[in-house]
C-alpha cells in the first residue's frame, strides 16, 4: 500500500522548514533566486500605469505604449493626422481609460477633438476603451443616432471564442457642430 503526502498548508510549512535544515544551501538559494526573478516578470492583473497627456501626440503615444492603461487628460486636446507615427492603426491590446479630472477642468471635463479622423485605432479582442469625464467632439462625420460610433476606430470583425471589444462613454458629453432639424431627429430615433 502506497501512502501519498496530502498537500495542506501545514505540510507545505513542514516541507519548507525541512528544506532549510538540509545542507544544500546553494541549491535552495538558486531556486529562490529563480523564483524571485520569475515573480518580478509578472505584472499584477489589476495594476495600471497612468500617463498624463496635454497634446494629441502625447495621447497617441500613450495609446501606443502597451503598459499604459489609464490616460489623464490635463487640457483640451485636438488629435491630428500628424500625431500618428505610421499609416497603420494603433492596436490597443489592453483596456484603456481616457479621463479628465472634472475638478480641474470645469463642469464637464476637457475636450477631446478627434477632428473626424478615420480608422486610426483598432481595439483588440476583449479590450475596452473607456472615455470618462471628457467632452467628445468631431468624432463622427455622419448622423450620430443613425450610425453610432467613433470614426477614429477601425471596424473589426468579432473573433470566435473571444470576448468582444467595447467602447464605454461614461459621464461624458458629446458636442455636435450643428443641431439637426426636428424632422431629422425624429427619423433617426425611430
Q: What is the pLDDT of residue 176?
A: 78
pLDDT of residue 15: 42
Residue 23 has pLDDT above 60, yes or no: no
Is the model's pTM score more than 0.85?
A: no
The DSSP-derived string for 112-133 is EE-TT--S-EEEPTT-EEEEES
**Whole-number mean pLDDT of the chain?**
79
Contact 172, 150 (CB under 8 A): no
Domain residue limits, the chain:
49-175
- List pLDDT tens digits, range 50-96: 999 999 999 999 999 999 999 999 999 999 999 998 888 999 999 99
DSSP 3-state of 40? helix
Report CA-CA distances (Å) from 171 to 21, 45, 134, 141: 59, 25, 8, 22
- Per-residue pLDDT tens over the stretch 139-150: 988 777 667 789
Amino acid at each position: 500500500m502506497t501512502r501519498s503526502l496530502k498537500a495542506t498548508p501545514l505540510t507545505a510549512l513542514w516541507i519548507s522548514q525541512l528544506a532549510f535544515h538540509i545542507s544544500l544551501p546553494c541549491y535552495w538559494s538558486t531556486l529562490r533566486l529563480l523564483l524571485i526573478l520569475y515573480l518580478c516578470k509578472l505584472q499584477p492583473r489589476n495594476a495600471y500605469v497612468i500617463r498624463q497627456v496635454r497634446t494629441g501626440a502625447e495621447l497617441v503615444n500613450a495609446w501606443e505604449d502597451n503598459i499604459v492603461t489609464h490616460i489623464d487628460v490635463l487640457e483640451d486636446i485636438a488629435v491630428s493626422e500628424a500625431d500618428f507615427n505610421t499609416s497603420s492603426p494603433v492596436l490597443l491590446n489592453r483596456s484603456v481609460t481616457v479621463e479628465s479630472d472634472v475638478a480641474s477642468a470645469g463642469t464637464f471635463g476637457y475636450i477631446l477633438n478627434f477632428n473626424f479622423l478615420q480608422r486610426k485605432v483598432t481595439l483588440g479582442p476583449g479590450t475596452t476603451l473607456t472615455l470618462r469625464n471628457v467632452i467628445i467632439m468631431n468624432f463622427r462625420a455622419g448622423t450620430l443616432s443613425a450610425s453610432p460610433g467613433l470614426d477614429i476606430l477601425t471596424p473589426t470583425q468579432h473573433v470566435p471564442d473571444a470576448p468582444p471589444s467595447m467602447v464605454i462613454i461614461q459621464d461624458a458629453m458629446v458636442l455636435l457642430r450643428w443641431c439637426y432639424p426636428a424632422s431629422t431627429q425624429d427619423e433617426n430615433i425611430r
